[in-house]
Amino acid sequence: MLPANAALRSQVSQLTLDISVTQARLAEMQTELVRAQRQLDSVTYPVLSLPTEIVSEILIHCLPTPTTKWRVDGVDSRQAPLLLSQICSQWRQIALSTPTLWKRLDINLRRRKNRAPDITETWLGRAHNFPLSVRLHGPTRDVDSKFSETFRRCAPRMQSLELDIFLDDLERMTSKSIEFLLLRKLSLRLLDGDDELPETFRVEMLKNVPQLSQVLLHQILPGAIVLPWQQLTRFTGELYYIPECLDALRLMPNLVECAVSVIETYGDYDDLEVFSHPQIRSFTLFHSMDHERDQEARSVQILSYMALPNLETLELVDVNYDDEFVLTVFFENGPTPPLKRLVVHPQSGEGRTTLPLTVAPFLRPHLTDLEIWHPDRGFTSDFFNRLGHDSAFMPGLEKLAFYCRYLGNEASQADLLRIAAGPVKSRRDMAGVTQLRVFHAFLVGSIYASPQEEDMAPFKELKAEGLDVYIGSVGGENHI
């Protein structure tokens, strides 16, 4: 029995000693921890030592770029600029004192109706006296009068205004004239769907807009809005019939850039005369996302009734080409325009891009930039055969871009490379034409396979000779 007791006393003694040693070591570690923490607390992170002006610039670059589309709701604590005020106390102070971060307000009134007045007041207050860009999306009927008061008070500072609201909201907002002394860009969309505007409806709150130059109207005729139309230089109109579109353009004699989507039937307007606009330099026809499913996009038909003698850029985007002679008629309507850039982008479905060959005689010598989407194989072969052998075919061409898919009879990217290689090289060596500087071959779609090496080899040689070559997907990697 005694030997067992002795062993236990020995074990207790050893454990007591180990605990004393561990406690001593723990005390040492606690002392080291306090010392290390003091040293850490004395360290200034390099980013926190930057001048306030530099930090402000960094924060500004965190905002969406000008090309970024408006978000449905920009008042989100998970995104800039609100997110920037949550990094640390120093950055919050800098963010709140940087007016440029707060000069754009994008608010969904449906989601923020209870807090919209306070958010707007605080947000625009942080912008101080900077010019404002404001987008309101949703009904204003559920927002109290404080919001309207803030809107009117800030109106003289608004440089850009986008209203995606309902008709009755617009009627309330436009009951009184408002001064928009800095307003340059106006976008107005109604959320009532296909509801027609009353014949007596007129927006009169925009009488005093001395700097307004750019307007977008969605399914709203210019006759329903009192504006200084003669001073506008850029206009976008969505979902107009051909006569309505021509009437709109007549109101704007100084227009330089224009984009329209046309709702059209297959009927003709025999009583319409050709309308000539001498100032327009850029004209875009596009298919509105709000076209009804049974409405066909036939925007290109309006060209039969127009003459643009000084046109330099023509973009046909997501439109249908049932009548390929339309462009020829357009070029014959008046003096041949000095067209420098042509974009042909058919609507979704199997490509039927044959228009550039039809109008080729009208495209010399000015055309320098040609962009073709969804070409069929036959067109691709004919196009490059002419390009490689005919010096009178688009002799001023410098930039050529093709966008291919894998669909039906369309030329794939591989088809394009095999067809284009020889003619592009021949064109580079051809006398009497402008040197081709750019050749881009894009694949459009979510699935991308790298081209075969034998298809890319000729273009690697051309790139070595100085041609700007891109072969890849849209926004992807250049394989050359």
Q: Is the Cβ–Cβ distance between 346 and 375 less than 8 Å?
A: no
Q: What is the chain's alpha carbon radius of gyration, rounded to the nearest angstrom?
A: 32
Residues 249 and 277 sit within 8 Å (Cβ to Cβ): yes
How would you classify the pairing of strands 132-137 and 104-108?
parallel
- Domain edges within the chain: 43-102, 103-214
The percent of residues above 90 in pLDDT, for the chain, comes to: 42
Q: What φ, ψ does residue 47 adopt, rounded to 5°?
A: -65, -30
**Dist CA 447 CA 14 (whole Å):** 70
What pLDDT score does 268 carry?
67
Mean pLDDT within 91-115: 87
Of residues 170, 309, 144, 82, the one with CA closest to residue 161: 170
Q: Comparing C-alpha atoms, which of 290, 70, 324 is closest to residue 187?
A: 70
Cα(133)–Cα(218) distance, integer angstroms = 19
Q: Give the pLDDT of residue 90.
A: 87
Please state, for a pLDDT cut of 70, what percent of the chain lies above it.
88
Residues 6+ apart with CB under 8 A from 98: 56, 59, 60
CA atoms of 74 and 477, how far apart (whole Å): 31
Q: What is the pLDDT of residues 434-458, one digit of tens each?
A: 999 999 999 987 666 788 899 999 9
Q: Is the pLDDT of residue 274 over 50?
A: yes
pLDDT at residue 70, rounded to an integer = 47
Give the per-residue pLDDT at 2: 55
In this structure, are residues 480 and 438 in contact, taking their beta carbons and an 8 Å threshold?
no
Dihedral, 105, 109, 113, 115 alpha carbons, nearest 10: -10
Residue 430 tokens read as 């051809």
Classify residue 446 as left (phi > 0), alpha (psi -120 to 50) or beta: alpha
Q: Report, as an integer, the average pLDDT of 175-194.
A: 84
The predicted pLDDT at position 45 comes to 66
* Cβ(222)–Cβ(255) below 8 Å: no
The answer to whether the beta carbons of residues 352 and 377 sit under 8 Å apart is no
| 314-365 pLDDT tens trace | 999 877 655 567 888 888 888 889 999 999 888 766 556 666 677 778 888 8
Residue 179, number of CB atoms within 10 A of its CB: 15
CA angle, corner 426, sides to 423 and 427, nearest 5?
A: 85
